[in-house]
Amino acid sequence: MAKKFKYFCLSAIAFLLWGCNNMGTSKTIKLAHGLDVNHSVHKALVKMGEDLAQLSAGKLTVEIYPNQQLGTERQIMELLQIGSLDMTKVSAATLENFAPKTKVLGLPYLFRDREHSFKVFDGPIGQELLNDGKKYWLKGLGFYDAGSRSFYTKEKVVEHPDDLKGQKIRVMPSVTAMEMVRGFGGSPTPISWGELYTSLQQGVVDGAENNPPSFYLSKHYEICKYYSLNEHTFSPDVVIVGTQFWDRLTQEEQGWLQRAVDKSVIYQRELWAKAEAEALEAIQKSGVQIIRPDKIPFSERTDQLYEKYQSDEALYALIQQIRAVN
């Protein structure tokens, strides 16, 4: 019954969006995401829409639905696949459920630092990953910075992987994320982002893992007073279009949209760097204890995770290619 209700809701949203999208001569791109309007991602998407309207002389405009108005990331992706929604920003962890190759982006300690990750995202490997979802009716247009993800907890300081033993840690619905937390000794618990504050408050989970701006803007720092910057992943956000929508665009319109996204990537990364610094300062002032643990014990615990990928020649080769990027 719950599954039927879910698809009824998706169908209702699809019908409403279809009706809105077929009014007038200009094309309105419907874009939904799950983040707050103060987030750098939302601001960059607004800028993308403004640039697109200018590039296209008003022929293409963007209408944005933030804050999970149209559902979770997974539900939004399903709307893209059936052609009822046009664009979204999705975390790489959610994308891996639709485009399997992108699971490598969530592997812990794959990237040496942020500069290394940008070289991969903006180069041929990144382009290969953006195109990986096309056979699943999804096309990537660019990578936004989502910083590095670290653990935050309510009652226990995490200075070493052993400190995660017995701790229920919220993770995104990602097999890679669950295997990582399990490898550290924790108990991975997938919970939607919108339900996490209450879950932390009620003790459903003992902690979570995310980047500083998300930790701050979500107000999770009101509950979790320990933030351990072990920086286990540099998993990006990805700007995605549905191929049904993309294929309806002319080549010129595709060019306008790609250029607008490219400009927004630069803008978002600038916003992100500023937001990250401001978030760390704000949570520290609020009483959160920031811990900077030795990352080597965490990294060593991920060896078994990488060993599992050796049986998949294509994915393991991709891992090696990423590590080789200077």
Q: What is 168-189 written as a DSSP string? A: EEEE-S-HHHHHHHHHHT-EEE
Residues 106/208, Cβ–Cβ less than 8 Å? no
* The predicted structure's pLDDT at residue 93: 87
| Residue found by looking up tokens 């490898």 in the block | 183
pLDDT at 162: 96
pLDDT in the model for residue 23: 46
What pLDDT, on the 0 to 100 scale, is given for residue 36?
Answer: 87
CB 71, CB 229: distance < 8 Å = no
Phi, psi of 153 (to 5 degrees): -135, 160
287-298 b/e (C-beta count within 10 Å ≥ 16 → b):
ebeebebeeeeb
The answer for residues whose C-beta is within 8 angstroms of residue 96's C-beta and 6 or more apart is 102, 103, 105, 106, 174, 175, 176
Q: Which long-range contacts (CB under 8 A, 24 or more apart) does 213-216 make?
A: 213/39, 213/40, 213/147, 213/272, 213/275, 213/276, 213/279, 214/39, 215/152, 215/279, 215/283, 216/278, 216/279, 216/282, 216/283
β partners of residue 238:
90, 143
Are 210 and 192 in contact by the 8 Å Cβ rule? The answer is no
The distance of Cα 108 from the centroid of its chain, to the nearest Å, equals 15
The conformational region for residue 208 under phi > 0 = left, psi -120 to 50 = alpha, else beta, is beta
Kindly list the structural domains of the chain, giving each domain's residue range(s) and its CATH number in brackets, ordered by start: 2-97+111-144+237-277 (3.40.190.170), 149-234+282-324 (3.40.190.170)
Strand blocks (E) in the chain: 27-32, 60-65, 87-91, 138-144, 149-153, 168-171, 187-190, 207-210, 226-233, 237-242, 289-291
pLDDT along the chain (326 residues), means of 10: 50 50 73 92 97 98 96 94 96 90 93 95 96 94 97 97 97 90 96 93 97 94 98 96 96 98 98 96 98 96 88 92 94
